[in-house]
Structure 1
Amino acid sequence: MNAQSPLKTPTAARTQPRAIGSVRVSTKTVGGHTAIDGLYQQGAAKAVFPRAARGLTAVLLNTSGGVTGGDRFDYGATAGPGTHLTLTTQACERAYRAQPGEVGRVDTRLAVQDHATLWWLPQETLIFDGCAMTRHLSCDLAPTARALIVEPMCLGRIAMGEDHVQGHFADRISITRAGAPLVMDAWTLSGGMTARMAGAAVGGGATAMVSLTYVAPDAAAHLKTIRALLPDTGGASLLTENTLVLRSLAPSGYHLRTALLPILDHLTGGHLPLCWRL
């Protein structure tokens, strides 16, 4: 009879698995049409390319189902000279509950070359109770480039009774023109996120919000129409004659999307990706 010590599980074996994913895509002009120039995808991040009425559309997929603490995702896109590239998501991204001390991270780097247009149109990010996530988007525009950058988000799922969300979410957007700062926007919510948004000076009870930046020579011409489409809890203004920024709050994701869809339809000329309609 042999006495044996209990087996010890290595620390690495007890570590929770984490999702890692990356997508990079670039475009070029072929026969007067936008085509894929380069494509790289790895891990839990994928891209599919449905037929599009304008330019090339890339639909990003997170095959892990969401982002939790310790996950790392990075996306990169370059719209080549004279091309039109749209990036969207198959569904709403989810920022899930994280283990103590772990933070999920999503980094997006966009570049738009001369006479090119890039639309960054992800669907809403759903922030779940207990999440811990940081997100950074950077976009550099050539002197004659155009861009539409949208980032909507919702705190919890109201219809499921998730009306008290706690956690940490930090978001940063950096848009430059030929390397010079054009739009720098950042916000952070920590602790009782729903409670903080209830403050009159913060969100007035809103649980959904959107940040939108439109950079194009016709930005000023759209301002009056955009303001007419906004609810009382939204506002739009011009930073320059070519740069329109919009911020809007809503009591729920449904109300946010109801207000946002007409604005996106207007700015895209009715070419919003089909997945936004499903």
Structure 2
Amino acid sequence: MFPKTHRPDAEVILLNTAGGITGGDTFSLNIEVQTGAALNITTQAAERAYRAQIDEIGRVTTDISVHDGASLNWLPQELILFDGCALRRRLRIDLKPQARLLMVEPVVFGRAAMPEFLRDVRFQDRIRITREGSPLYIDGIDLHGDATAHLARPAIAGGAGAVASVVMVSPAAAAHLKPVRALLPETAGASMLAEDVLVIRQLARDSFELRRTLIPILNHLTQNTLPTSWRL
């Protein structure tokens, strides 16, 4: 969907009419933000990774290129993992030297209100952000088997049920470090990987707590232009 906005930058809402992802599903997305363009991409709602059949894996692959003078806000809502899911995700973003990026990737490990526990999951997630092929940010998650027990370990997640990663690549990134740190809960941290690369990692007890503390940060970084679907 391409909603109307009162801003010069374009907005895209990604829709999955299947209602979720399960084993055997394959989704691929290729995005090119051309010189001078400004694009916001989000999702209609949280994505869901459902129980898969034995030996079946769902695959989601996204390849993005952002040209000089262009900016991309990659702002999908949460990915919710269900018990028995099998999912392999790949997000690759390549930036030209004068490109700007804001990326958020939230993941929820079962719905706490139900309550749900992830006793048997297969989840592999890879994020790779490069500048003309040179790495800026490389991240990965591998969860196999009893994810709830694994995440309960103090050195892993201390019992957190949700996590978000935020990356900003911009000449103005360093100026946001102090204000962002003032907004962070105790279970989050922010640092500069380079003079123009700001990274935030945030843990939360559940999806409600994650969203409650994440939205003010995204509002700050987007100058209060966070897509409407995030506020519904």
TM-score (norm 2): 0.98
2:197 pairs with 1:234: no
CA distance, structure 1, for counterparts of residue 119 and residue 104 of structure 2: 23
User: In the alignment, which residue of structure 2 is the partner of 1:123?
Assistant: 77
Q: Distance in 1 between matches of 2:157 and 2:54?
A: 27
Deviations 1:96-120 (A, max 9, x none): 0000000000001111101100011
Secondary structure at the aligned position of 1:123 is classed as coil
Structure 1 residue 179, shift from structure 2 partner: 1.4
Pairs within 5 Å for 1:147-186 = 147-186=101-140
User: The residue matched to 2:15 in structure 1 has which SS?
Assistant: strand
- Partner residue, 2:222: 268
How far apart in 1 are the matches of 2:141 and 2:190?
18
- 2:44: which partner in 1? 90
Change (3 A) 1:74 1:201: same
| Structure 2 counterpart of 1:268, one-letter code | T
Stretch moving more, 177-186 or 93-102: 177-186
Structure 2 counterpart SS, 1:185 = strand
- Which secondary structure does the structure 1 equivalent of 2:156 belong to? coil
The question of whether the paired residues in 2 share the 8 Å contact of 1:97 and 1:128 is answered with yes
* Whole-Å separation in 2 of the counterparts to 1:171 and 1:199: 20
User: Where does 1:45-56 land on structure 2 (aligned, <5 Å)?
Assistant: 48-54=1-7, 55-56=9-10
SS in 2 for 1:53: coil
Which of the two has higher C-alpha Rg?
A: 1
Deviations 1:170-221 (A, max 9, x none): 1100001111111111111110011110000100000000011100000000
SS at match of 2:89: strand
How far the C-alpha of 1:276 sits from its partner, in A, is: 0.4
How far, CA to CA, are the matches of 2:112 and 2:139 in structure 1? 27
- Aligned partners of 1:166 and 1:194 also within 8 Å: no
Structure 1 CA distance for aligned equivalents of residues 6 and 179 of structure 2: 24
* Paired-residue identity, %: 53
CA contact (8 A) 1:53 1:271 kept: no
Give the equivalent residue in structure 2 for 1:277.
231
Q: Which amino acid aligns with 1:231?
A: P
Q: Is the alpha carbon distance of 1:173 and 1:164 closer, same or farther for their aligned partners in structure 2, counting shifts above 3 Å?
A: closer
Aligned-pair RMSD on alpha carbons? Answer: 0.8
For residues 204-256 of structure 1, the C-alpha deviation after alignment (integer angstroms, 9 at most, x for no partner) is 00000001110000000000111111111101100111000110100000000
Provide structure 2 residue ranges, at least 5 long, that are not aligned to the other structure: none
- Deviation, 1:163, is 3.2
Are 1:247 and 2:201 an aligned pair?
Answer: yes
In structure 2, C-alpha distance between the alignment counterparts of 1:260 and 1:187, rounded to whole Å: 20
Query: Equivalent residue of 1:256, what SS?
Result: helix
TM-score calculated relative to the size of structure 1? 0.82
How many residues are treated as equivalent by the alignment? 231
Name the counterpart of 2:28: 74
Distance apart, 1:158 and its partner CA = 0.9
Work out whether residues 155 and 165 of structure 1, in 8 Å CA contact, stay in contact via their aligned partners in 2: no
Deviations 1:45-98 (A, max 9, x none): xxx100123311110000111000010001121111111011100010000000
Q: Which has the higher contact order (CA 8 A, sep 6+)?
A: 2
Q: Quick one: distance in 2 between partners of 1:165 and 1:150?
A: 26
CA offsets, 1:131-184, max 9 Å, x none? 000101000101100001110010111111113442011110000111111111
Structure 1, gaps ≥5 residues long:
1-47
Change (3 A) 1:165 1:228: farther
